[in-house]
Amino acid sequence: MSNIQLSAGDRITSNCTKCKDITNHTIVAMVGEIIAKVECSTCGGVHNYRNAVAKKPAVKRKTGAAKPVKTKKIEAEWSELLKDQDPNTATPYNMQMIIESGHLIQHPNFGLGRVISVTKPNKMEVHFSTGIKLLRCVIA
């Protein structure tokens, strides 16, 4: 580490309060050897010196038990819905299709699904193996 003596008028990086970023600043005021005020070279704002230490990204913590429980519940509901259905009777999905509750559809991305409800003006809720999706349709 170098022992460079800083003084008013020198350039330094600081965390700018207006720019919300680490930018170049000019030292405006010092108290002894401590930097007190700086002026941002980008926005011109004058504020207290804030050390330009990069923040560590927040670590997202996940619990291992939460996801499998939800997945098991969705899979259980899915198997119950298809218990008395024949997957070969599924209609290929089309946005212009006329559909009623209880029908099976085959979606190109989501796969096999069962229509739970049809609501006006032109929407249907379909239960797929990955969960419930809202799709477009034509009401009979």
Q: For 96-118, how does the pLDDT look when each residue is reduced to its tens digit (9 = 90+)?
A: 888 888 889 899 888 888 888 88
Tell me the C-alpha distance between 2 and 55, whole Å: 23
Residue boundaries of the structural domains of the chain: 11-48, 67-139
Interacting residues of 57 by C-beta distance below 8 A, sequence separation 6+? none
pLDDT tens profile 8-32? 888 888 888 888 888 899 988 888 8
Q: What is the pLDDT of residue 132?
A: 84
Q: What is the mean pLDDT of residues 127-137?
A: 85
Tens-digit pLDDT profile for residues 35-93: 889 999 888 889 888 887 656 666 776 665 555 566 777 777 777 877 788 888 888 98
Q: What pLDDT does residue 88 have?
A: 85
